Amino acid sequence: MTTRKLIKGNIAICHGAVAAKCDAFFGYPITPQNEIPELMSDLMPANGGIFLQAESEISAISMVYGAACAGKRAMTSSSSPGISLKQEGISYIAACELPCVIVNVQRGGPGLGNTLPSQADYFQTVKGGGHGDYKMLTLAPWSAQECYEFMPLAFDLADRYQNPAMILMDAIVGQMLEPVDLHNNFEICDYSKSWATIGARGRAHNIINSLWIDPEVMENLNLRMQAKYAAAQLHETRYAEYRTDDAELILVAYGSPARIAKTVVDMARDEGMAVGLLRPITLFPFPSARIAEYAKNGSRFMALEMSAGQMVEDVRLAVNGMADVAFYGRTGGVVPTPTDILNVVRASFSKPPVFSSYPSERRSVK
Partner 1 sequence: MQKVFERPKGLTDNEFAYCPGCLHSVVHRMIAEVMEELDIIQNTVCVCPVGCSVFMYEYMACDVIEAAHGRAPAVATGVKRVLPDRVVFAYQGDGDLASIGTAEIIHAAARGEQLSVIFINNATYGMTGGQMAPTTLIGQKSTTCKMGRDPQISGYPIKICEMLATLDGPSYIERVAPTSPAGLVKTKKAIKKAFQNQIDGKRFSMVEVLSNCPQQWHMNPIDTFKFIEDEVSKVFPPGVYVDR
- Which residues make up the interface to partner 1 (CB under 8 A)? 23-24, 26, 50, 52, 54-56, 58-60, 62-70, 72, 74, 88-89, 92, 197-202, 205-211
Are 22 and 152 spatial neighbours (Cβ–Cβ below 8 Å)? no
Shortest separation between residue 89's beta carbon and partner 1, angstroms: 7
Q: How far apart are CA 220 and CA 231, in angstroms?
A: 16
Q: How far apart are CA 357 and CA 362, in angstroms?
A: 8
Burial class (CB in 10 A: 0-12, 13-18, 19+), 219: exposed
51 versus 186: smaller Cβ distance to partner 1: 51
66 versus 309: smaller Cβ distance to partner 1: 66
Q: How far apart are CA 191 and CA 188, in angstroms?
A: 9
Q: How far apart are CA 310 and CA 217, in angstroms?
A: 34
26 versus 286: smaller Cβ distance to partner 1: 26
In sequence order, which residues have a C-beta less than 8 Å from that of residue 335 and are 6 or more positions away? 116, 117, 172, 256, 260, 306, 364
Shortest separation between residue 316's beta carbon and partner 1, angstroms: 35
Shortest separation between residue 97's beta carbon and partner 1, angstroms: 13
- Burial code of 158-170, b = ≥16 C-beta within 10 A, e = fewer? bbbbbbbbbbbbb
Shortest separation between residue 319's beta carbon and partner 1, angstroms: 39
Shortest separation between residue 222's beta carbon and partner 1, angstroms: 17
114 versus 210: smaller Cβ distance to partner 1: 210
Shortest separation between residue 214's beta carbon and partner 1, angstroms: 13
Q: How far apart are CA 364 and CA 337, in angstroms?
A: 8
50 versus 240: smaller Cβ distance to partner 1: 50
62 versus 163: smaller Cβ distance to partner 1: 62
